[in-house]
Amino acid sequence: MRIAALDLGSNSFHLLVVEARLDGSFVPLAREREMLRLGDLVARTGAIGEEATARAVEVVRRFRSVAEAQHADEIVALGTAALREATDGVALVDRVRDETGVEIEVVDGLREAELIFTAVRSSVLIDPGPALVADLGGGSLELAVGDRSGLVFATSLRLGVGRLTAEVAPADPPAADDRARLRARVAAELAGVMDEVLSAKPQMLVGSSGTLTSIARIALMARGGPLPSTLNQLTVTAEEIASVARRVFSATSAERARMPGCDSRRAELLPAGIVVLEELMAATGLDSLTVSEWALREGIVLDAIGMHERAELAGDPRAMRRSSVLALCRRSSWRQRHAHQVAKLAVELFDATVDLHDLGPDSRELLELGGLVHDIGEHVSKTDHDRHTAYLIENGGLRGFSPAEVHKLAALGRYHVRGTPKASFEPFGTLDDADRAEVTTLVALLRVADALDATHASLVEHARVEGHPMVRVGTEGAGPGRDCEPGPRRLDLVVEGHGDAELELWTVRRKQELFEKVFDCRLDLRLVRLGRVPYDPGRGGGAGLS
What does the radius of gyration of the chain's CA atoms come to, in whole angstroms?
26
Number of C-alpha atoms within 13 angstroms, CB side, residue 515?
27
Write down the pLDDT at residue 47.
95
Residues 365 and 363: their CA atoms lie apart, in Å, by 5
Judged on CB neighbours under 10 Å (0-12, 13-18, 19+), 375 is buried
Which of 264-268, 304-308, 526-530 is modeled with the greatest confidence? 264-268
Average pLDDT over residues 68-87: 94
Average pLDDT over residues 71-82: 94
542 or 33, higher pLDDT = 33
Task: Please give the helix or strand (H or E) that residue 333 lies within, else none.
Answer: none
Confidence grade of residue 235 (pLDDT, cut at 50, 70, 90)? confident
pLDDT in tens, 213-225: 999 999 989 988 7
Confidence grade of residue 472 (pLDDT, cut at 50, 70, 90)? very low
pLDDT in tens, 311-361: 444 444 466 578 778 878 987 878 899 999 999 999 999 999 999 998 999
Q: Which domains does the chain have, with CATH numbers?
A: 2-107 (3.30.420.40), 125-293 (3.30.420.150), 317-539 (1.10.3210.10)
Write down the pLDDT at residue 514.
97
537 or 177, higher pLDDT = 177
Residues 6+ apart with CB under 8 A from 177: none
pLDDT in tens, 254-271: 999 999 999 898 999 999
Write down the pLDDT at residue 540.
42
Write down the pLDDT at residue 26.
75
Residues 179 and 245: their CA atoms lie apart, in Å, by 11
Q: How far is CA 151 from CA 78, 117, 121, 187, 504, in A?
A: 21, 8, 10, 24, 28
- Residue 545, pLDDT > 60, answer no
Contact 508, 534 (CB under 8 A): no
Contact 34, 297 (CB under 8 A): no
The interaxial angle of helices 210-222 and 238-249, nearest 10 deg, is 100
Write down the pLDDT at residue 27.
80
Q: Spell out where 284-367 has E strands.
A: 288-291
Confidence grade of residue 461 (pLDDT, cut at 50, 70, 90)? very high
Confidence grade of residue 248 (pLDDT, cut at 50, 70, 90)? very high
- Alpha helices (H) in 124-175, listed in sequence order: 161-167
Q: 3-state DSSP call for residue 237? A: strand
SS3 readout for 61-96? HHHHHHHHHCCCCEEEEEECHHHHHCCCHHHHHHHH
| String of DSSP letters for 488-520 | -EEEEEEEEEES--HHHHHHHHHH-HHHHHHHT
Confidence grade of residue 476 (pLDDT, cut at 50, 70, 90)? very low
Average pLDDT over residues 424-446: 94
